[in-house]
Amino acid sequence: MKIKSYFSRTVEDAMALASQELGPEAMLLNSRKAPLEARHLGEYEVVFANVMPAGEAPDSALEAAAPASVAARPPLGDQLSRDVADLKRELEGMRRTLTRSALAPSQWVGGSPDLSDAYAALTASEVGPELAREIVQGVEAHLVGPRPPAGRTPRHFDKAAFQRALVEELGSRFQAQPSLGRGESPPRIVALVGPPGSGKTTTLVKLAVNYGLVSRRPVLLLSMDTYRVAAAEQLRSYAAILGVGFQVLETTTALAQAIEENRGKELILIDTPGFGFGDMDSASGLAQFVSARSDIDPHLVLPASMKSTDLSSVVDSFEIFRPQRLLFTKLDETGSFGPILNEAARTGKALSFFTDGQRIPEDLEAATRNRLVELILTGSSSRARTAA
Ligand SMILES: Nc1nc2c(ncn2[C@@H]2O[C@H](COP(=O)(O)OP(=O)(O)OP(=O)(O)O)[C@@H](O)[C@H]2O)c(=O)[nH]1
Ligand SMILES: [Mg+2]
């Protein structure tokens, strides 16, 4: 048997590596956030063991450590298979205990495994440890009252009641507002802002089709992206295909004028250039204009695959636009949706829409509480799709 630690960006990456190196029998013993001094090697440290198939030579280091009676057993036949099966069961038990004690706050150890498992599931989905703890404490309070006397928390809860409480607690931590525009009266004016390549232009076209063309609302697309030669052309082509109005504007004065001249439209969607950390200064003119206009609804477009800490920095740097809503793209590129919850909970900003693929217009959906809860608990973005 071999025990090996893997450092990686996600637990899934480590599992893939371990299965490659140690074989499909590789068993996860423990996972935890990597200690600070080893963080450069990866976010997580995940420990695996491989139990050698019958007939394979045991690892010498472990053989030396094994009790004489085990080491002396004949290496072949049924006895070995039984030993391996016993060992596997033992290791699985160890893994559960270790995972719980590594991931769950100590007050749950020896308390309810259901609570520890929920905490471990949330943190595995990259929900921040503090938020995960609050959610699980909320579930406990929901099911047994605010401060259960010591030893009064049941070890196991009714499955359905537990799931309901967990969904409710998770859902109460953020807002979802899948709508476009601020006031009730048209035109609804939306600006998509965000870092380079986050999916602003693609999402804008998806919105134009789903919330404009499909309901026969007159739409206008405006591009403020004159930074790169091809940028506005990308949107111009889409506008031509869709048969909707399109203008490229160089200045905020021209943008104000275009809005004024198109008050008859129902939906005006404004595309903006991607601003990276290094060029937020060049965003200030546009940001000032957008944030000062009470009729423009800026949605901050962010890739769901971004790490929580990076997301927070990006959201903070885009605060100059005063976006009230967060729009997450590329859900299909991650299996950990905790960072979306972390950011929505941290900022109190509502989630507006999700995109989960490159197909226009299909890969867009309204953000709802149930959907994010489902994403976090299942770790999968697949959904029932309408025929293309
Ligand atoms: N997998 C996946 N790819 C996406 C999604 N949304 C957008 N993309 C892709 O991401 C790339 C960048 O998309 P754009 O819409 O051009 O991004 P942008 O934010 O306008 O980029 P800049 O204008 O350069 O800042 C394109 O290849 C898109 O097809 C999504 O939900 N999933
Ligand atoms: Mg763009």
pTM for the model: 0.74
Task: Confirm whether 385 is domain-assigned.
Answer: no
What would the pLDDT profile of 241-300 be if each residue is shown by its tens digit?
999 999 999 999 999 999 999 999 999 999 999 999 889 999 999 999 999 999 999 999
**Gap between the Cα atoms of 148 and 322, Å rounded:** 42
User: 265 and 134 in one domain?
Assistant: no
Domain end position, chosen among 103, 133, 149: 103
Return the amino acid letter for 80.
Answer: L
pLDDT for residue 307 is more than 50: yes
Mean pLDDT of the chain: 83
User: 86 and 162 in one domain?
Assistant: no
User: 114 and 7 in one domain?
Assistant: no
Give residue 309's pLDDT band: very low, low, confident or very high (50, 70, 90): very high
Could you give the number of structural domains in the chain?
3
Contact criterion met (CB below 8 Å) for 42 and 30: no
Q: How far is the CA of 211 from the centre of ligand 2 (A)?
A: 19
User: 96 and 121 in one domain?
Assistant: no
For the four alpha carbons of 359, 167, 178 and 346, in that order, the dihedral sign comes to: negative
CB atoms within 10 A of CB 91: 18
What would the pLDDT profile of 79-131 be if each residue is shown by its tens digit?
676 677 667 666 655 654 555 455 555 455 446 888 888 999 999 999 999 99
Measured from the Cα of 234, ligand 1's closest atom is 16
Of 52-61, 185-194, 365-374, give the lowest mean pLDDT range: 52-61
User: 354 and 274 in one domain?
Assistant: yes
Listed in order, strand segments (DSSP E) in 231-375 are 245-248, 267-271, 296-303, 325-329, 350-355, 364-366
User: 129 and 24 in one domain?
Assistant: no
Contact criterion met (CB below 8 Å) for 295 and 247: no
Specify the 3-state DSSP secondary structure of 84: helix
Task: Confirm whether 79 is domain-assigned.
Answer: yes
User: 117 and 99 in one domain?
Assistant: no
User: 316 and 329 in one domain?
Assistant: yes
Pocket of ligand 1 (CB under 6 A): 194, 196-202, 225, 231, 274, 329-330, 332-333, 355-358, 363
Measured from the Cα of 331, ligand 1's closest atom is 31
Task: Confirm whether 178 is domain-assigned.
Answer: no
Return the amino acid letter for 378.
Answer: T
Q: How far is the CA of 303 from the centre of ligand 1 (A)?
A: 9
Return the amino acid letter for 322.
Answer: R
Return the amino acid letter for 316.
Answer: D
Contact criterion met (CB below 8 Å) for 242 and 213: yes
User: 329 and 214 in one domain?
Assistant: yes
Q: How many CA atoms lie within 13 A of 218 on its CB side?
A: 8
Q: How far is the CA of 272 from the centre of ligand 2 (A)?
A: 7
**Gap between the Cα atoms of 218 and 212, Å rounded:** 6
**Gap between the Cα atoms of 31 and 281, Å rounded:** 41
Structure tokens at 131: 């938020």
What's residue 33's pLDDT?
72
Residue 231: give its domain's CATH number: 3.40.50.300
Domain end position, chosen among 83, 103, 123: 103
Domain end position, chosen among 103, 123, 151: 103
Q: How many CA atoms lie within 13 A of 204 on its CB side?
A: 36
Measured from the Cα of 356, ligand 1's closest atom is 31
Specify the 3-state DSSP secondary structure of 154: coil
User: 150 and 118 in one domain?
Assistant: yes
Q: How far is the CA of 176 from the centre of ligand 1 (A)?
A: 22
Strand (E) or helix (H) holding 189: strand 188-193
By residue range, what is the domain housing residue 238?
188-378
Angle (deg, nearest 10), helices 231-242 and 200-208: 10
What would the pLDDT profile of 11-52 be if each residue is shown by its tens digit?
778 778 877 887 776 776 666 777 777 777 888 777 776 655
Task: Confirm whether 300 is domain-assigned.
Answer: yes
Task: Confirm whether 176 is domain-assigned.
Answer: no
**310 contact partners, CB below 8 Å, separation of at least 6:** none
**282 contact partners, CB below 8 Å, separation of at least 6:** 275
User: 256 and 111 in one domain?
Assistant: no
List the shell of residues around ion ligand 2, using CB closer than 5 Å.
200-201
Task: Confirm whether 116 is domain-assigned.
Answer: yes
User: 192 and 96 in one domain?
Assistant: no
Give residue 189's pLDDT band: very low, low, confident or very high (50, 70, 90): very high
**280 contact partners, CB below 8 Å, separation of at least 6:** 317, 320
What's residue 183's pLDDT?
79
Ligand 1: residue whose CA is nearest its atom 4: 358
Task: Confirm whether 182 is domain-assigned.
Answer: no
Task: Confirm whether 86 is domain-assigned.
Answer: yes
Q: How far is the CA of 14 from the centre of ligand 1 (A)?
A: 28
Q: How far is the CA of 278 from the centre of ligand 1 (A)?
A: 20
Return the amino acid letter for 25.
Answer: E
**Mutation pick for ligand 1 pocket among 192, 193, 201, 364 (CB with most ligand atoms within 8 Å):** 201
